[in-house]
Structure 1
Amino acid sequence: MNTHAQSPDKLAEKILRGVGGPENIESLTHCATRLRFQLHDGGKADQAALDALDGVMGTVPQSGDRLQIVVGGGVANVYSDIMSLPAMRGSGARPPSDAEVKAAMRAKSRGRFAWLDNFFEYLSDSFRPLMGVLLGASLIIAITSVLEAFGLIDTRATDKSSTWVFVDAMWRSVLFFLPIMVAYNASKKLRVDPWLGAAVMAAMMTPNYMSMLGSSSEVPGVSCTTNETLGSEQCVAKVFGLTMQLNDYGGQVFVPLAMVALLALLYRGLQRLIPENVQLVFVPFFSMLIMIPITAFLIGPMGIWAGNGLGSGLAWLNSNAPIVFAILIPMLYPFLVPLGLHWPLNALMLQNISTIGDDFIQGPMGAWNFACFGATAGVLLLSIRHREKEMRQTATGALAAGLFGGVSEPSLYGIHLRFKRIYPRMLVGCLVGGVIVGLLGGVDTEVFAFTSLLTIPVFSPMVTYGIAITAAFFTAMVLVYFSDYRSPEERAQANAERDADERAARDDSAAADVREPLAVGAATAAVGGSGASAGSPVAAGAPAPGEGIVLAAPVAGRVIGLDEVADPFFASRVLGEGVGIEPANGHVVSPVDGELVTAAVTGHSFGIRTKDGVQVLVHIGLDTVQMNGEGFDVRVEPGQQVFVGDLLAEVDLDAVHAAQHSTITLMTVTNTAYLASVEAHTGQDVTVGAPVVIVRR
């Protein structure tokens, strides 16, 4: 098969036609060498046409209308070319984004409670796309905080100039309209028309709705009362003869998150009930007709009631058990902020300042904020240590916004909610800071302030506050740094991807005929491999040393041909010529001297490159990647030099059998097509290190 790729655009178009067009694609992802299609109808894929394409190394249909197309090391580019085609942008297909692919990979290390993982993913994916504007707005806040700290402006003055009113609008645009943005992203996450979710939430933020708020409203049927505890005004209106609570939903996120979750159920139900040819009109129509009143009458008020009830309860707690209050506030905030339930507490803070002259909430709250920033600092240090460019940029911006602007959202939505290991460590920092505030008698402030480095002087006693936030910051930072925000498996995977990216960048400067086989061989470890086809197996009998490059048996056992292997990728030689070995034990060693290009974190495969450019794949078992490393004890790391007989992994074969996977261990030469011959010697029982394959260049 000719593996020299044609024009990328033409290849992408031909692959798209070969799988039945964009309308036949339910989802599309890619791994290191393969395009992975989930099709609506697998029978529409033209496998013969796809196999004949230059640049396609092989195709394998799978159950459930799934189709894998082996492209090799350039798969990411082909994937991008397909996704960039106008037909894909205009189709109803919804291939997952890179973030969703990574989320799927993180799902391999899910915790005990799937619902909790799903909840955090829902939160994370609803906020992650907003990171840019959140960081931008928070940095504007940070600049104004610096100016206010030096007495150059007063952001709370009632007679601010039009200039500073406009500056306020520059950052308030993000926080005020955050509910609409969150509704849009949450709808995309749940596969609902995102503009529909945004429109439902926007109904409660229009000038028409806002005109009913406040006792000064001239709209008939509106009446208002004052909440004595919170010092806030609550208004209701008669709508269709029913009483509807009116609220300012600016900055609220609990309401859009809850609304979209219910909208998704309604949306799918309407799609099943309404004929497809009129869904474009009537699905949005009935969705809006039903969800806007439900949100206004029920979901919205529920979010506000929850926040107001919490504020009243905390005021009582501070009066009766202040030390408990000082500890509880920083422990609660990490859960209130992501849901937007902390906003009523801001009203309580302002009420305290206006009625009793100072506030008791902001001091303990500072312990939470600085624990949050400390966790971000730990992530930043790790990103520098592990050369994670994207995370370094995110953490740097989030930390600057936090330390100088007192804004936690960039850290929460951009980092902490994405990596569930951070929260427990951050909570320890919150606890330490809260305990210090409680034991030392509490902290008050006479002004409403973002808890940043610049506002430390407004808290009293300042020394108590400084000790508490410092302890909270460094506790969280140290815990995150030394235990990592990724699990060991996630760290190994991330580092392997980083190394592969760095290696690929270095390889870009090499000649194409050298880079292509390396990229194919290097990719095999993470996904079960790919490579070239065709070889020349011969009858049993050990190859004579000195005649070509000898590959030793990586494991003791019975040697069989690839035709006997129950895996279409290996049997078809898509992964190159080689042998299978029915292992006698789980002691797996290197079959050659060379560089360990890749070692899968799951321990199921290893890619080795010899000094002569031979790419060797050692693959332990079939479909054992699904075991997620259980039963595999990896003894090597990518990038190190290995020699014949060096231990690669110890494998618990009983565990593999218990997981109902074959233990057959395969060794193939993934760049067979670039070599004169690859001779496999089968039908023999061998010990570790016995010659089983000979390669001639």
Structure 2
Amino acid sequence: MNNQTLVSLAAPVDGRLIKLSQVKDPVFSQGLMGQGFAIEPVNGNIVSPVTGTVTLVSETKHAFGIKTQDGVDVLIHLGIDTVELKGEPFSVLISQGDQIEAGQAVVKMDLKMIEDAGKQKTVILAITNSNDILKQLMTSKFDQDVKSGTTVAVASIEAVATKKKIKIGNGKYDQLAADIVENVGGTENINSLIHCITRLRFYLKDDTKANDQKIENMDGVISVAKAGGQYQVVIGQAVTDVYDAVIAQIGSEYANNSATAEAVAQTTKEANQPKDLWSNVKSGISNFIGVLTASMIPIIGILAGSGILKGILAALTGFKVLSTTSGTYVILNAVGDATFYFLPVVLGFTAAKKLGSDPIVLAIVGGIIIYPSLVTMAGKASTASTTFLGIPTTLVSYTSSVFPIIVAAWLGKYVEKFLKKIIPLYLRSVFVPIIEALILSLVIIIGVGPIITVLSKGLSNGLVAIYSFSPTLSGLVLGGVYQTMVIFGLHWGLIPIIINDIATNGHSYINAIVSITMVAQGGAVLAVFLKTKDKKLKEVSLAAAISAFCGVTEPALYGVNLKYKRIFVVASIASALGGALTGFLKVNNYALSGSLIGFPAFITPGVGIGSNFYGYLISHYGTLVISVVLVYLFGFTDKMLAKKADPMNLNVKMA
């Protein structure tokens, strides 16, 4: 039986036929989109080169795809870099799903507008599933004039009837693919699937059937987003392998190679565009926040619950219902505090999974940096400054810290790769993990620790000096930056100052301003809870708000506010305004507690409820109102759910 089929390809436009390698775009000239040809057009009347079904019409109208009955995926790309013209030079006469004939008029293209914009007008045809289906492409003589609708090439393809079915094996990504398919609602909920250079892009029948939380928590998945009518699963560099595994399981009929080629072309071009320094800085910050929030997602629930428990305990001890020395308090406090104390261990494990390091090694690194004897030494001025093999260093307490272990998780995969190069195979299982743990721990203890110490002391002394100059200005600055300091571990320099103030003077103005920042972050997630229609986000936001009002902001910060960056920015502005109000009213704090649950700490000892407590009510509940209103009006909309950035900041919308 003949195992090949011949498919004729007509010229899509009048002009000069040229080789694909002559196209001034490496995505096409290097054959990354498949084999084909190009035409330098003399007019803008574009016709269909084949008979088939329209599978793609780009949102910016500069490209369209057609699938023939024989299974050939043809992509027509109109001009080079014309995506930047946002569809203005093109008048499209077809829609996705249309059945069209070879030679049928499909697009009107304004060549003058393209030339005036400084763009190339080359029309490109590529068979995007060349690797899967194409045996040979026979083309007419190049560098000659051709007429639209006339045959200029013949594709010899593998006949559909003889194509082999792909069997599901035990590949590296097969289980991940199966889990993703199951949690997007199964094959029966999928219309089609494409991918770009970082994301799987599902067209689902009903995206409410997809389980966002389960998919986001899968090893190998960075996050989930919804955009352009697509359900997007952010994978990263392994996206092609995962896509192949998914298609192998659900069937090639769900693939749309033309749309995939267009998505890959656009996102590749965007990724390769030179970026200025500010763009690189923004990308780096976005990547860091992405890893941070993705690492926190698995533990947000227990963090929120632990924060609420700690708040309840603070209230019970504040009202003298429980003593801090009682067995009941000690056990309940251990339950509430353990997640925070051992946060570097948990984050070491989850961040390593996201960044490709060894999760067990990074969990051990987390354990090393919060090892009790190191924490004890760091807590005493006489022992905090020490040496390691003659190298001077300053020890820092990393309990409850976030930033240092994320740095270690990022470095981990490079350290492990290096060690595997220099250590013989038969010794790796024993020596690679322990040497990697040693190197990463030393990077944090000797490298990160002293830097954090210097920066946090400098910031803290500066903030105290500002308070001496102007309490209102100090409140504005500290209220605005404190939660950012928390993210990078720079807030620890303030803690000894607050403790010393309370121990020496019996009160702390600084702690009153710090308390405000908790209320502002809680108010921000409360606004999200009130505004969003997403059930899962409502649930997370409410729990995070309660936790923040109990004095624990981690669930609000990492579960919601940083994830949708504008919320954090607006919340910080509200916090700055609240801090300024607190400083202006000279609100004082009389114990190491705060936020809304810690109101007893604002009752002046020996005086009772008086002007200071009223100042607390005005500043804290005023901040709550400011934060809720600002975030509700300017900080959040449900449209932001579709804009969560992937590691390369690419979110190209496809029609």
Identify the TM-score tier after normalising by the shorter chain. 0.5 to 0.7
In 2, the alpha carbon distance for the partners of 1:416 and 1:31 equals: 26
How many pairs align? 435
TM-score, scaled relative to structure 2: 0.57
In 2, the alpha carbon distance for the partners of 1:82 and 1:490 equals: 15
Counting only pairs closer than 5 Å after superposition, residues 209-358 of structure 1 correspond to structure 2 as 209-210=374-375, 224-225=381-382, 234-271=383-420, 280-358=429-507
Partner of 2:345: 180
How far off its partner does 1:246 sit? 3.1
Residue 171 and residue 99 in structure 1: after superposition, are their counterparts in 2 closer, same or farther (change >3 A)?
A: farther
SS where residue 445 of structure 1 aligns?
coil
Residue 62 and residue 409 in structure 1: after superposition, are their counterparts in 2 closer, same or farther (change >3 A)?
A: closer
In 2, the alpha carbon distance for the partners of 1:304 and 1:80 equals: 37
Partner of 1:5: none
How far off its partner does 1:63 sit? 10
Identical columns (%) = 23
Residue 81 and residue 134 in structure 1: after superposition, are their counterparts in 2 closer, same or farther (change >3 A)?
A: closer
Partner of 2:98: none
Partner of 2:531: 382
Residue 98 and residue 299 in structure 1: after superposition, are their counterparts in 2 closer, same or farther (change >3 A)?
A: closer
Residue 62 and residue 278 in structure 1: after superposition, are their counterparts in 2 closer, same or farther (change >3 A)?
A: farther
Partner of 1:116: 285
Partner of 2:559: 414
Residue 289 and residue 144 in structure 1: after superposition, are their counterparts in 2 closer, same or farther (change >3 A)?
A: closer
Letter of the aligned partner of 1:452 in structure 2?
Answer: L
Partner of 2:221: 96
User: Which among 522, 547, 556 is matched to residue 401 of structure 1?
Assistant: 547
Is the CA contact 1:59–1:67 (under 8 Å) kept in the aligned structure 2? no
In 2, the alpha carbon distance for the partners of 1:183 and 1:271 equals: 21
In 2, the alpha carbon distance for the partners of 1:422 and 1:392 equals: 15
In 2, the alpha carbon distance for the partners of 1:342 and 1:206 equals: 21
Letter of the aligned partner of 2:221 in structure 1?
Answer: P
Letter of the aligned partner of 2:234 in structure 1?
Answer: A
Partner of 1:446: 590
Counting only pairs closer than 5 Å after superposition, residues 12-91 of structure 1 correspond to structure 2 as 18=167, 20-23=169-172, 28=177
Partner of 2:369: 204
Considering only aligned residues, what root-mean-square deviation do their CA atoms show, in Å? 4.7
In 2, the alpha carbon distance for the partners of 1:236 and 1:16 equals: 66
Residue 379 and residue 290 in structure 1: after superposition, are their counterparts in 2 closer, same or farther (change >3 A)?
A: same
Asked if 1:423 is matched to 2:568, the reply is yes
Counting only pairs closer than 5 Å after superposition, residues 297-696 of structure 1 correspond to structure 2 as 297-383=446-532, 386=533, 388-403=534-549, 405-440=550-585, 442-455=586-599, 458=602, 461-483=612-634, 485-486=636-637, 488=639, 490=641, 627-628=652-653
How far off its partner does 1:419 sit? 0.8
The superposition leaves residues 421-467 of structure 1 with CA deviations (integer Å, 9 ceiling, x where unpaired) of 20222123113212322333x21122221322441661562222322
Is the CA contact 2:524–2:567 (under 8 Å) kept in the aligned structure 1? yes
How far off its partner does 1:410 sit? 1.5
The superposition leaves residues 322-359 of structure 1 with CA deviations (integer Å, 9 ceiling, x where unpaired) of 32211111101121122332233222111111123321
SS where residue 565 of structure 2 aligns?
coil
Range with bigger deviation, 370-379 or 235-244: 235-244
In 2, the alpha carbon distance for the partners of 1:56 and 1:437 equals: 53
Structure 1: stretches of 5+ with no match in the other structure: 2-14, 36-53, 216-223, 226-233, 494-624, 633-697
Letter of the aligned partner of 1:104 in structure 2?
Answer: V
Residue 378 and residue 336 in structure 1: after superposition, are their counterparts in 2 closer, same or farther (change >3 A)?
A: same
Residue 628 and residue 82 in structure 1: after superposition, are their counterparts in 2 closer, same or farther (change >3 A)?
A: closer
Is the CA contact 2:200–2:232 (under 8 Å) kept in the aligned structure 1? no
Residue 480 and residue 297 in structure 1: after superposition, are their counterparts in 2 closer, same or farther (change >3 A)?
A: same
In 1, the alpha carbon distance for the partners of 2:632 and 2:544 equals: 17
Structure 2: stretches of 5+ with no match in the other structure: 1-68, 70-163, 226-230, 237-262, 272-277, 604-610, 645-649
Range with bigger deviation, 453-462 or 22-31: 22-31
In 2, the alpha carbon distance for the partners of 1:173 and 1:626 equals: 38
How far off its partner does 1:477 sit? 0.9
Asked if 1:171 is matched to 2:320, the reply is no
In 2, the alpha carbon distance for the partners of 1:471 and 1:66 equals: 43
Partner of 1:561: none
In 2, the alpha carbon distance for the partners of 1:34 and 1:168 equals: 37
How far off its partner does 1:389 sit? 1.9
Residue 242 and residue 166 in structure 1: after superposition, are their counterparts in 2 closer, same or farther (change >3 A)?
A: same
Letter of the aligned partner of 1:628 in structure 2?
Answer: K
TM-score, scaled relative to structure 1: 0.53
SS where residue 22 of structure 1 aligns?
coil
In 2, the alpha carbon distance for the partners of 1:168 and 1:34 equals: 37
Is the CA contact 1:32–1:76 (under 8 Å) kept in the aligned structure 2? no
How far off its partner does 1:170 sit? 1.8
Residue 193 and residue 463 in structure 1: after superposition, are their counterparts in 2 closer, same or farther (change >3 A)?
A: same
Is the CA contact 1:373–1:399 (under 8 Å) kept in the aligned structure 2? yes
Partner of 2:354: 189
The superposition leaves residues 587-616 of structure 1 with CA deviations (integer Å, 9 ceiling, x where unpaired) of xxxxxxxxxxxxxxxxxxxxxxxxxxxxxx
Range with bigger deviation, 425-434 or 206-215: 206-215
In 1, the alpha carbon distance for the partners of 2:327 and 2:337 equals: 15
Residue 254 and residue 75 in structure 1: after superposition, are their counterparts in 2 closer, same or farther (change >3 A)?
A: closer
In 1, the alpha carbon distance for the partners of 2:629 and 2:214 equals: 43
Residue 80 and residue 304 in structure 1: after superposition, are their counterparts in 2 closer, same or farther (change >3 A)?
A: closer
Asked if 1:161 is matched to 2:330, the reply is no
SS where residue 361 of structure 1 aligns?
helix
